[in-house]
Amino acid sequence: MSQIRAFLAIDLDDDLKPKINKIMREFKQIDANIKFVDLQNLHFTLKFFGDIDTEGIDLISEKIENVVKDFKPFNIKIKGCGAFPNKNRIKVIWVGLDEDEILKDLHDRLDKEFNSIGFDLDRRFSSHLTIGRMKSAKGKDKVKNTLEKYENVDIGSMEVTDIVFKKSTLTPRGPIYEDLIEYRL
């Protein structure tokens, strides 16, 4: 029985990547221990499955199709920059969403379907793009200042027309993502 590391995501539109790259470049100028996400890997995670048996992909896919048939393409507004768990204990640096009610509804309905086949419900869902992970407190104050500078930054809007089931292969240089199945809204 073979396994893959998998997740369900919405890819970021290419035309929004330059604005996010500009923010990332400013964080990169800080003498801090931050591991940045490659621009081509930026996405909004709808569900992280972890390691799953490849035989279960069809069942997961069926659950996704049950939900996406009820959704039409919708717009999201990408706005703001912040940190998890908070600005005083920075582990993850993210760019967020301003308008995401439809996205939350999509997530919640998917999560309920996945729970019916044995996956845990997400305790907390926060739609965001992870742009970097802080590996130590080095440079924290400057990172915090930059977060505050971009707290309300307006990145732009994009239309969500599909969601993608992805395989993630971990390598020493970072993860490699492979699109396995695309679901049109």
Question: What is the DSSP track for 95-108?
Answer: EEEEE-HHHHHHHH
Residue 107 is among the residues annotated as catalytic for this protein: no
Judge whether 90 and 51 are in contact, CB under 8 Å: no
Nearest alpha-carbon partner for 132 in 147, 117, 115 = 147
User: Quick check: is 43 catalytic?
Assistant: yes
Q: What are phi and psi of 143, to 5 degrees?
A: -65, -45
The single residue of 128, 132, 140, 163 carrying the catalytic annotation is 128
29: which 2 tokens? 């100028």
In DSSP terms, which residues pair with 129 in a beta bridge? 44, 95
DSSP 23: H
d(CA 18, CA 95): 13
**Of 6, 43, 45, 166, catalytic:** 43
Q: Which positions are catalytic?
A: 43, 128
